[in-house]
């Protein structure tokens, strides 16, 4: 009889959806149902505002996804990137990875304002960012996942952390992998999350050295396709044009798919940090090939890796606060 009960329990378990809950190093749990009673319309509001913003400007999807990434890599997923500078806070918005490039803050302001009207002082800016990143992925054709929730917002920022911990386009493969491992992310997470460069843009200044002087010898990067490099040079001169924008994935720039990985196989990755995944390491090369040949594998791993990244050192329980305005700490 006991064994029968065990079988019934197992069969019920098989029917239950996967729970993407995670114990965090803050001592609390994140789980998708966190606001089901306190703010049931929260996710709906995020989705509506993000959809409107992306319809108006497709590039916004990549911008919101990138904000979540740049937030999580600095002190954890705590919305520290959203804080403006004050007498006591030096904003991360002015760091090298974010200055003149991090964007989407007004979209998050709009979401926060609507949610505050619906359920004041309940939903954190950090959770809004995590849901907006998922919705941006889905809206552009990518995979969906249940977003674990329950993060709280930081009361400070770290510009030095932003400068040092976020992988840079010209970092070596080893440096990039080290920065991922420092966050508890694996080599598989590195390749899958890099696939977010299937949407969005990069500035001329972030890859110019590949076109003209990759190794300090006055020669272009030999791992960059020559015809592709010639096209890039037309709008990215040796000097000037720093802010000129280029698609990270020129094949399908506003569609979340696996063409980013196909581009790497053809030596047409835009950033050095993209192409090194194919040229500098045997394990990442195999993953690039795998995702280039089978989009479904990429989508499955991307969803898993986004959940894992969203779980980096969140503030939970009574740590941090729920900001009323994402740009400033509560007074």
Mean pLDDT of 312-323: 96
For residue 103, pLDDT beyond 60: yes
Residue 197, phi then psi, degrees to nearest 5: -75, 15
Using only the alpha carbons of the chain, give its radius of gyration.
Answer: 21
Residue 245, phi then psi, degrees to nearest 5: -100, 145
Contact between 269 and 250 (Cβ < 8 Å): no
For residue 175, pLDDT beyond 50: yes
* Candidates 68, 70, 121, 197; catalytic one: 70
pLDDT for position 8: 38
pLDDT for position 21: 55
Question: Is 70 tagged catalytic?
Answer: yes
d(CA 127, CA 147): 9
- Beta-carbon neighbour count of residue 44 at 10 Å? 11
Model confidence at 2, pLDDT cuts 50, 70, 90, reads very low
5 vs 50, higher pLDDT: 50
Mean pLDDT of 235-244: 96
Digit-coded pLDDT (tens) for 263-295: 999 999 999 999 999 999 999 999 999 999 999
d(CA 27, CA 36): 21
pLDDT for position 66: 98
Q: Which residues contact 37 (CB under 8 A, 6 or more apart)?
A: none
Mean pLDDT of 220-236: 96
Digit-coded pLDDT (tens) for 17-76: 344 555 544 446 899 999 999 999 999 999 999 999 999 999 999 999 999 999 999 999
pLDDT for position 215: 83
Single pTM value for the model:
0.91
DSSP character string of 236-269: S-SSS-TT-EEESSSSSTTS-SSHHHHHHHTT--
Task: Collect contacts of 288-297 with beta carbons under 8 A, ≥24 apart.
Answer: 288/191, 288/261, 288/264, 289/261, 289/265, 291/191, 291/192, 291/195, 291/258, 291/261, 292/258, 292/261, 292/262, 292/264, 292/265, 294/258, 295/257, 295/258
Q: Is the dihedral of CA 252, 256, 262, 264 positive or negative?
A: positive
């Amino acid at each position: 009889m006991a064994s029968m009960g065990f079988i019934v329990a197992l069969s019920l378990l098989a029917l239950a959806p996967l729970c993407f809950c995670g114990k965090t190093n803050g001592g609390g749990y994140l789980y998708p149902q966190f606001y089901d009673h306190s703010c049931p319309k929260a996710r709906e509001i995020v989705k509506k505002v993000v959809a409107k913003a992306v319809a108006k400007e497709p590039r916004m999807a990549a911008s919101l996804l990138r904000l979540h990434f740049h937030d999580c890599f600095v002190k954890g997923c705590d919305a520290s990137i959203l804080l403006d500078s004050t007498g006591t806070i030096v904003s991360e918005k002015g760091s090298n990875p974010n200055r003149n490039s991090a964007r989407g803050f007004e979209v998050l302001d709009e979401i926060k304002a609507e949610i505050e009207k619906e359920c004041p002082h309940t939903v954190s800016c950090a959770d809004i960012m995590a849901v907006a990143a998922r919705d941006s992925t889905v809206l552009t054709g990518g995979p969906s996942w249940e977003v674990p929730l329950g993060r709280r917002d930081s009361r400070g920022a770290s510009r030095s952390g932003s400068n040092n911990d976020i992988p840079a386009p010209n970092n070596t493969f080893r440096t990039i992998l080290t920065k991922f491992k420092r966050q508890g992310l694996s080599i598989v997470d590195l390749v899958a999350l890099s696939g977010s460069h299937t949407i969005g843009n990069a500035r001329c200044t972030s890859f110019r050295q590949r076109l003209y002087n990759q190794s300090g010898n006055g020669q272009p990067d030999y791992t960059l396709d020559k015809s592709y490099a010639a096209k890039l040079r037309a709008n990215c001169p040796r000097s000037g044009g720093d802010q000129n924008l280029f698609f990270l994935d020129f094949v399908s720039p506003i569609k979340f798919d696996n063409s980013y990985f196909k581009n790497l196989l053809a030596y047409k990755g835009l950033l050095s940090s993209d192409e090194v995944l194919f040229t500098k390491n045997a394990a990442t090369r195999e993953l690039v090939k795998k995702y280039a040949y089978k989009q479904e594998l990429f989508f499955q791993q991307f969803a898993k890796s986004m959940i894992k990244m969203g779980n980096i050192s969140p503030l939970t329980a009574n740590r941090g606060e729920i900001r009323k305005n994402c740009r400033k700490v509560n007074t």
